[in-house]
A and B are shown apart, each in its own frame.
Chain A
Amino acid sequence: MKTFNYKNSFKMKYIAAFLICSICLTGCDLDETQEVVTKNNLVWADEFDVDGPPNPQNWNFEIGDGSAQGIPGWGNNELQYYTDRPENVKVENGVLSITARQETFEGSNYTSARLVTKGLFEKKYGRFEARIKLPYGKGFWPAFWMLGEDSDGEEWPQIGEIDIMEYLGDEPTTSFGTIHGPGYSAGESISKDYILQNNRFDKEFHVFGIEWSPNQINWYVDDVLYLTLTPEDVDEETDGEGEWVFNDRPFYIILNVAVGGNLPGAPNDETVFPQSMFVDYVRVYE
């Protein structure tokens, strides 16, 4: 992971800047702390209000350890086996929980779940946000992210990847936003940390989102915008080698909890299992 050194401070407070605008919002839940700049028209959402398995009209599962997809360890030497069992994923009390467990299952030592909207909901541009509470401890690697739709046969990183929220359980106050594309993928991706002050991501729910427009993506946590990326930034970061692939195709949403792998490292003796990522909602606005 490469740290993106943005030149200007963009820690702008949405609330302060757009307070006047907020009165024209309708239908916002009380728990929504994010105020909106431009994209207020809700076009897709899962509020996880019905107990049971996740709504199959919104979510597909990706099952296994990645071998079936040709990327064992999901390309990162991750340790979990994804299932669709209620032990690993369920909706209860208005919240989706994706639970990572330490258990021997199909040759893996951990189980978890990975939900995708692929084939069900794919969209180019918009405001994508989710309200999430995260687990903690070495080895936990939950994420709320997006991949480009690939029915044309194009492959990663050409299809593009937007990581709205990634987080490592042994850094409980830090999340990060990232893009991957041709010339800036995997360890060369363009990324920035957001460090929560006087709070932790495993203590309560926080809102993670992006605002994605032609030639621009903004990342925010709660009411703080912490990263803006444009084709110019990609050019600068890659010495002109990278290509902005985020005007090309619709993307689908992914929610998952990985265990271990290249980025977080393996769990240690202090890592507590089972633990869950809790998702209060996922909403998409235009």
Chain B
Amino acid sequence: MINNRITYLKILGLVLLSPMVFTSCERDVSDAAVPATFPTTAEVYTDNPVGLTDEFFISFDPVGGANPEAFGTDDNEAYLGSSSIRIDVPAPNDPDGAFVGGIFKDRGEGRNLTGYDALTFWVKGSTTATVGTFGFGTDFETSPFPVEISDIQLSTDWRKVTIPIPNSSKLTQEKGLFLFSAGSFDLDITPDDSEDPGTVDLGYTFWIDEIKFENLGTIGQYRPSIENGEEILTEGFLEVPIQITDLAMTANLESGEDVTVNVAPSYFEFESSNPEVATVDENGLISVIGTGEVIITASINGIAAEGSISLNVEGSFNFAPTPTTPAENVVSIFSDAYQDIPVSRYNSFFEPFQETLGGVQSVGSENIISYTDLNFVGIVFNDVTFPAQAVQPVNATDLTHLHIDVNVQEAVQDSDRLLLELTNYGSPETVGSYLISGSELLEDNWVSFDIPLSEFSGLGDRNRIGLLLFNSTNASNVSTISNIFLDNIYFYTE
């Protein structure tokens, strides 16, 4: 690109120096001076794929559950013309895969979409299901510019969907022309004779027609946002990068409706108020390089995004000590040092009395558990408490200890309490408890505990341990510790 521009300037200079030699003002400069441009074809699918090969559909990976058999065309349904795309959304138990989705890809060099402001298409469902995702910009290669819209409610008549393009000047060579993803788990209807308000395990069909890029001119009020439009205040730590998330843009359509699309970071310009503390790359990754305060903001096409990240960087993150127990002796619930077993929830959100917020939080490439507003909270790994998220409990019959690292994020009093409770889902169900007192804990420092399972008083069998509960309330039911980091929670054999 840079080379092209230099060439262009050189030739432009020659042109300016020698205007006399031109006999016609119609004459173009040499082909070499024209930056490479790609086809501007608007249509993606009308009655046939337009400008694509016959194999224009590429399914998401069947290994991930995508059902490549569910895609086809239908000559009996069309919004316009004679044919449409037909998607048979599989039932969740379909042996060929529980969802359908993929992309329409330009197998050539890509298209120049800079002259368009929206991708539009018509869609119709066999029922009023909600399709998970439509979009464009994903090409299964580098895909720098995806835009996606979520949860589109189908109608049983044709309905037009408009996906605004955040900043089409970026789309000089786009290969990812369309994307969809749908699963019957998105189907949220309750049959009349069912008392279960959950979803129904049925497949359904929807049709898509007249997929094309348009320059509507009737889209306005572009409102980009990062971090869900919130002004995030957080601590940053040296050399612990932070990814800006929840990038979106809301625009207002001709119909007066607002539509919000999820937008790739590459559409944004990011700005650091203090590049000596933090910098941001084009993918929205914040690198923390110095101590001090910094505000990270963003914009699309000169329009400031709602939301920001303010960092206060005082130094490096104090990670818990790396465990040294050999992996073959460990059953890990939560640790970056081991392969964790499947866990239903790292925050139980028990209703109605639990107040604890938080859960797993990434700190750079590592993870910790951060709980705030702690009164009590469970880590759930059983097949009883939340049947829809059932996992196997731990058979700890031959295990001897529970390890846990605790770092209290506030001043600690000797009278503070952190009660650990293990539940064994046998018959009978038993609960064992172990009390850590405030005198054993430190503010802003990690303390490692290796607790013999035999010291969990009240615990009977250990063959189906499936809940680890933390309770910081005292005898008056008042929380004594509210903010806490945990890490390296695992059972092991000594």
Residues of chain A at the chain B interface (Cβ within 8 Å): 136-138, 169-173, 196-200, 202-203, 270, 272
Contacts and interface: CB of A to CB of B under 8 A. Distances in A.
B228 to A, nearest CB: 15
Nearest to B216: A198
A200 B254 CA distance: 8
A273 B220 CA distance: 16
B41 interface: no
Interface in B234-256: 252, 254, 256
A172 B217 contact: no
Contacts of B216: 198
A270 B258 contact: yes
A25 B56 CA distance: 58
B259 to A, nearest CB: 10
Nearest to A138: B256
Contacts of B218: 172-173, 196, 198-200
Contacts of B173: none
Contact of B217 (A136, A199, A272): A199
11 contacts: A136-B252, A137-B256, A171-B256, A172-B220, A172-B252, A172-B256, A196-B218, A198-B218, A199-B218, A200-B220, A200-B254
Interface residues of B, number: 11
A169 to B, nearest CB: 7
A196 B256 CA distance: 14
Contacts of A272: 221
A197 B214 CA distance: 13
Contacts of A203: 220
B215 interface: yes
A168 B106 CA distance: 41
Contacts of B258: 270
A196 B216 CA distance: 11
B477 to A, nearest CB: 38
Nearest to B250: A270
B220 A169 contact: no
A200 B217 CA distance: 7
Contacts of B256: 136-138, 169-172
A221 to B, nearest CB: 15
Nearest to B252: A136
A167 B431 CA distance: 67
A137 B258 CA distance: 9
A138 B217 CA distance: 20
Most buried by B among A197, A199, A200, A270: A200
A136 B221 CA distance: 8
Most buried by B among A136, A138, A173, A196: A173
Contacts of A199: 217-218
9 smallest beta-carbon distances between A and B, as pairs: A198-B217, A170-B256, A200-B220, A203-B220, A270-B258, A199-B217, A173-B254, A173-B218, A171-B256
B220 A202 contact: yes
B221 A202 contact: yes
Contacts of B217: 197-200
Interface in B197-225: 215-221
Contacts of B220: 136, 172, 200, 202-203
A173 B257 CA distance: 12
A197 B218 CA distance: 8
A195 to B, nearest CB: 9
Contacts of A197: 217
A279 to B, nearest CB: 19
Nearest to A268: B258
A34 B252 CA distance: 28
A118 to B, nearest CB: 33
Contacts of A137: 252, 256
A7 B254 CA distance: 27
Given A136-B220, A203-B220, A198 B215 contact: yes
A198 B215 CA distance: 8
A137 B256 CA distance: 7
Contacts of A172: 218, 220, 252, 254, 256
Contacts of A173: 218, 254
B33 to A, nearest CB: 32
Given A137-B256, A200-B218, 9 more contacts: A172-B252, A172-B256, A173-B254, A198-B216, A199-B217, A200-B217, A200-B254, A202-B252, A272-B221
A173 B254 CA distance: 6
A206 to B, nearest CB: 13
Contacts of A169: 256
A270 B218 CA distance: 18
Contacts of A202: 220-221, 252
A37 to B, nearest CB: 28
A171 B220 CA distance: 12
Contacts of A136: 220-221, 252, 256
A140 to B, nearest CB: 10
